[in-house]
Chains A and B, each alone.
Chain A
Amino acid sequence: SAVISQKPSRDICQRGTSLTIQCQVDSQVTMMFWYRQQPGQSLTLIATANQGSEATYESGFVIDKFPISRPNLTFSTLTVSNMSPEDSSIYLCSVEPLVDTEAFFGQGTRLTVV
């Protein structure tokens, strides 16, 4: 397993601003991912954070809106840019510790945009 620390755990932000969410893992992992859970909805994959290269985004998500960094095998950030109230969601980091093993999730960041 892996212990995942996500910061901040929650935030209230003004529209038009940006928020960067950090995800720190206690061990090196092969794969890191970012998910979003909008109110009353399921979890949706935003992107795969690739170490040393650009993230791979899922359909409907773009780098300009959700820039992602992964400088090493234990850390990643997700930025929610130019926020609007529609960005109010829980954002979750997840990791696949080893190839073909179950993914573990951080506790999530609850974002409210006002």
Chain B
Amino acid sequence: DQQVKQNSPSLSVQEGRISILNCDYTNSMFDYFLWYKKYPAEGPTFLISISSIKDKNEDGRFTVFLNKSAKHLSLHIVPSQPGDSAVYFCAASGTSYGKLTFGQGTILTVHP
């Protein structure tokens, strides 16, 4: 049972445009959501998070939106840069910020 799903295996975007990565979850006990970025041969790097009591969190070019009723969150990157090309993982936790359930990942490619 995949409790966190990223239905788009890949996304291709032009430099300067917006990248939107989506994530759905099924477990209503999740109350904290995170996005991680992963380059090849490296561990995941924390990007941005959001608590279930909020619907939006912004950090520079990155904004995460949470729709609890739809059990859906999205990551917006504006403007997208070629250095953003990586695998993006959505993750959720219910008890500990370190005990995470991950989605399958979305490969983002930003073309110059």
Contact B43 A96 (CB under 8 A): no
Contact B98 A96 (CB under 8 A): yes
Contact A48 B45 (CB under 8 A): no
Q: Does A68 lie at the interface of the complex (its beta carbon under 8 Å from any beta carbon of B)?
A: no
Contact B97 A102 (CB under 8 A): yes
- How many interface residues does chain A have, given as a range? 20 to 34
Docked CA distance A19–B98 (Å) = 24
Q: Does A43 lie at the interface of the complex (its beta carbon under 8 Å from any beta carbon of B)?
A: yes
Contact with B along A57-93 (1 / 0, CB 8 A): 0000000000000000000000000000000000010
Contact B104 A48 (CB under 8 A): no
- B interface secondary structure, majority: loop
Q: Does B102 lie at the interface of the complex (its beta carbon under 8 Å from any beta carbon of A)?
A: yes
Q: List, in ascending order, chain A residues with CB within 8 A of B91's CB.
A: 43
Q: List, in ascending order, chain A residues with CB within 8 A of B44's CB.
A: 43, 92, 105
Q: Which of B36, B100, B102 is the most central at the interface, judged by chain A CB atoms within 10 Å of its CB?
A: B100
Residue in B43, B49, B100 whose beta carbon sits within 8 Å of that of A108 in the complex = B43
Residue in B41, B89, B99, B105 whose beta carbon sits within 8 Å of that of A107 in the complex = B41
Q: In whole Å, how far is B106's beta carbon from the nearest beta carbon of chain A? A: 11
Docked CA distance A41–B87 (Å) = 12
Q: In whole Å, how far is A85's beta carbon from the nearest beta carbon of chain B? A: 21
Q: In whole Å, how far is B60's beta carbon from the nearest beta carbon of chain A? A: 16
Given A102-B34, A102-B49: A107 touches B43 (CB 8 Å cut-off): yes
Q: In whole Å, how far is B104's beta carbon from the nearest beta carbon of chain A? A: 5
Q: Does A44 lie at the interface of the complex (its beta carbon under 8 Å from any beta carbon of B)?
A: yes
Contact B42 A108 (CB under 8 A): yes
Docked CA distance A102–B34 (Å) = 8
Given A4-B43, A92-B43, A108-B43: A103 touches B102 (CB 8 Å cut-off): no
The chain A residues found within 8 Å of chain B, CB to CB, are 4, 6, 31-33, 41-45, 48, 92, 94-96, 100-108, 110
The chain B residues found within 8 Å of chain A, CB to CB, are 34, 36, 41-46, 49, 89, 91, 96-105
